[in-house]
């Protein structure tokens, strides 16, 4: 099977990117990271990509007239590298129409909470402050909203009385690193079927 070419957008440390790269390298998913794009020049994610010999491109949002022009530049980079799926991994911007229209139902995101609970920034802190007994993470397709797109996979973790934002985030992150590559595997295999806002997983029958 030909490898699915994945473009990753990341703004920060890139541990999810690393988990995806590792899963590809280990042959766990029939995919390869074709390019990593960041809106932050100093993002550790870019360094991780370079270390792996993966093209790493900084696109400076300040160099463009507006969001549309910036996103078009990102799309150009992704297309130039043949990206078939776009994975947001700690990408700190709301995706707009230009990116969405260029990759319809082909953009995924990972969020550190059980959506639709606690969307937006600091999902782990929100969960802790709300007092839930369980939280987790969600891989979803991206739509024009903030963390509102169709849900692909979720993982649940317990919240303990002794938890801080950091300990909870670490417990959730472990699961993020497991379910993001798994979601990509399902996509690459053609096993994800979108009906309305529901995602059905049909392994074995396409």
Which residues are near ligand GRF by CB under 6 A?
A: 10, 12-16, 89-90, 110-112, 137, 173, 176
Q: What are phi and psi of 66, to 5 degrees?
A: -165, -175
Question: Which CB atom, from 15 or from 148, has the smaller least distance to ligand GRF?
Answer: 15
CB of 77 to ligand GRF, least distance (A): 19
Told to judge if 140 belongs to the known catalytic residues of this protein, a careful annotator would answer: no
Of 111, 140, 177, 193, catalytic: 111
CA–CA separation, 130 vs 123, rounded Å?
11
CB of 124 to ligand GRF, least distance (A): 8
Q: How many helices (H) and strands (E) does the chain have?
A: 6, 9
Q: Are 49 and 36 in contact (CB under 8 A)?
A: yes
Question: Which CB atom, from 71 or from 176, has the smaller least distance to ligand GRF?
Answer: 176
Nearest residue to ligand GRF, using CB?
A: 90
Collect all residues with Cβ–Cβ distance below 8 Å to 91 and sequence separation of at least 6: 9, 10, 11, 39, 109
Which residue from 6, 22, 21, 20 is spatially nearest to 86, judged by alpha carbons? 6
Question: Which CB atom, from 112 or from 189, has the smaller least distance to ligand GRF?
Answer: 112
Neighbours of 9 (CB within 10 A): 28
CB of 53 to ligand GRF, least distance (A): 20
CA–CA separation, 1 vs 82, rounded Å?
17
Question: Which CB atom, from 4 or from 21, has the smaller least distance to ligand GRF?
Answer: 21
Write down the H helix ranges in the chain: 15-25, 44-51, 67-80, 97-102, 123-130, 165-188
CB of 52 to ligand GRF, least distance (A): 15
Active-site residue list: 111
């Amino acid at each position: 099977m030909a490898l699915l070419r994945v473009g990753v957008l990341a703004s920060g440390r890139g541990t999810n990117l690393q988990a995806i790269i590792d899963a590809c390298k280990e042959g766990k998913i029939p995919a390869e990271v074709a390019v990593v794009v960041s809106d932050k020049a100093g993002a550790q994610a870019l360094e991780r990509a370079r270390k792996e010999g993966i093209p790493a491109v900084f696109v400076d949002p300040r160099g463009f007239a507006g969001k549309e022009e910036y996103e078009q530049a990102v799309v150009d980079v992704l297309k130039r590298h043949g990206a078939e799926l776009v994975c947001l991994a700690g990408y700190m911007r709301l995706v707009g129409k230009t990116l969405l229209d260029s990759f319809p139902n082909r953009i995924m995101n990972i969020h550190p909470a059980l959506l639709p609970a606690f969307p937006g920034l600091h999902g782990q802190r929100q969960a802790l402050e709300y007092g839930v007994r369980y939280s987790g993470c969600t891989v979803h397709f991206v739509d024009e909203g903030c963390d509102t797109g169709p849900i692909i996979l979720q993982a649940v973790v317990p919240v303990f009385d002794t938890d801080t934002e950091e300990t909870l985030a670490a417990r959730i992150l472990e699961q993020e690193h497991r379910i993001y590559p798994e979601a990509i595997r399902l996509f690459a295999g053609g096993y994800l079927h979108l009906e309305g806002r529901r995602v059905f997983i049909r392994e074995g029958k396409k």
